[in-house]
Amino acid sequence: MEAKIIRLCVECRKQHDTGIENRLTGEFEPIEKCIDCLMSKCSFEFEKKQIRLDDVVPVSYDQMQKQICESMLKIMKREYGSCQIGEQ
């Protein structure tokens, strides 16, 4: 039985097992912050003007995922700088 390493979040000191898993290789790269602290940095700015349904442009699932990932990368770059995953 492999012992699981428990880490503490550097921000809130809560125990967590947050990280990035490479599903191709099975490698797990731990992150210093818990998911709650990471997600607390996310914010939403809602449109001030009303949008009508006939104004909406359909977006594919892949395009939506790409937009979400790009938004998360911007937030992480703003918080942590422009380091690459895996750099020390």
Q: Mind listing the pLDDT tens digit for each residue in 19-41?
A: 888 888 888 888 888 888 888 87
Contact 20, 31 (CB under 8 A): yes
Strand 15-16 with 7-8, pairing: antiparallel
Let me know the angle formed at the C-alpha of 19 by 1 and 65, rounded to the nearest 5 degrees: 130
Q: Where along the chain do its domains lie?
A: 7-80
Q: How confident is the model at residue 13 (pLDDT cuts 50, 70, 90)?
A: confident
Give how far the C-alpha of residue 39 lies from the chain's centroid of Cα atoms, to the nearest Å: 7
Instruction: Between 83 and 66, name the one with better pLDDT.
Output: 66
Phi then psi for 82, rounded to 5 degrees?
Answer: -105, 45
**pTM strictly above 0.75:** no
Helix (H) or strand (E) holding 38: helix 35-40
Q: Quick one: average pLDDT of 4-10?
A: 79
Measure CA 28 to chain center.
15
